[in-house]
Amino acid sequence: MALVIVLLVLALTLAFFHLKCTMMQSFMMLWSSVVATILALSYYEVVAELFISRGYVLQWAHFGCYLIIFIACFALLRSGCEFLTGVDIDLGNMVKTSTAIVCGFLTGIIFSGNLLIVMGHLPMQGKIFYSRFDASGSVSPNNPKAPVLGTDAFVSSLYGLISSGSMSSDKSFNVLHADYLSQIHLNKLKVKDRVLTICSPEAMQMPSKKGQHPVRLWVSPDNKEFVVVRMGIKDSGGAGNNFGKITFFPAQIRLVVKDKDKMTVPTDNPLTGSAKALYPVGFLENNKVIEKELNEIISPKPEELKNRVLWLDIAFNMPPNYKPVLLEFKQNGVMDLSSYDVVKSSPEVERALDGDGQEDG
């Protein structure tokens, strides 16, 4: 399905460039598509938050905002370029045709890549929809079903380079959305089972009392090491299903970690550069890691909640010399872990987390 979409978009774009575009128009179309992509990926979440925070079109917010921003920006940029460029430069049919082929091919790659990204945000799952993972079987984030022509991977990688390079800020796309395509496709694996794909940041909670250490290194009786993170999920803010009950699956939880060797000094901003996304291997319960499939739906009973919050100890296999920087839940839920130290678990550490800690820190 994805390959057919890419080939169709490429064919239509090349035909349009060859038949309708002058040399200058070909360059303007390519430039407009690149800038529209940058704007769409930079601002679709900001615009979507305006709807999510008000409870409107929660599951469709990212899909709709991305699509509208890209189309609107491309149309405005192309129209502006046409207006500003009054005279066309004619260097002959050979140059015109060569420019049309090169620019048309690159623009087709960008168009199809953006279309596949938009389809990745579509809150629908099925054979007729583009999906990198099969919801019915075992899920491995490292083995996605990528199309032969992965134009969405090209577009997201290009934007990642730009966001960490000449247009870098204090929050890099390659950190906030490490392994971006897997994130958006894994997040919607269970939409058929009415598991919501988007939540507000207020749906997440971390232990906040002094003396509590929610990020710790836990060693199993057979000497396996896990990084365990204590997180609370509120029964509001999109964490529940359409009936208000908390419903999720482990693939909707991600720990974003950063290689310490890539940080020049310890005081470097951990949210710049690039990072790696880890998915849970299970949950720590009664001093034992209970393994879970990434697509296994978890729907706790009301009595399992404490003050309307479900507290989880999420276990991850973290490579050596890495530092946790973000904990992400569904789309839009992000907790900054960069200020937390990974402490070794002990009975005292666990008792502090299970209790109320000390006074507010």
Query: What average pLDDT does the structure give for the chain?
Result: 86
Question: Residue 112 above 90 pLDDT?
Answer: yes
Residue 104: its pLDDT value, please?
Answer: 95
Question: Residue 355 above 80 pLDDT?
Answer: no
Question: Residue 156 above 70 pLDDT?
Answer: yes
**Looking at 118-127, 165-174, 177-186, which range is the least confident one?**
165-174
Residue 45: its pLDDT value, please?
Answer: 92
pTM of the shown model: 0.87
Residue given tokens 């990084």 in the structure block: 227
- Distance set, CA 174 to CA 164, 200, 256, 285 (Å): 7, 21, 10, 32
Q: Which of 320, 339, 204 is nearest to 270 (CA)?
A: 339
Identify the bridge partners of residue 358 per DSSP, sorted by sequence position: none
Per residue in 316-325, pLDDT tens? 999 988 999 9
Domain spans, the chain:
2-184, 197-354
Residue 360 structure tokens: 């507010």
Question: Residue 47 above 80 pLDDT?
Answer: yes
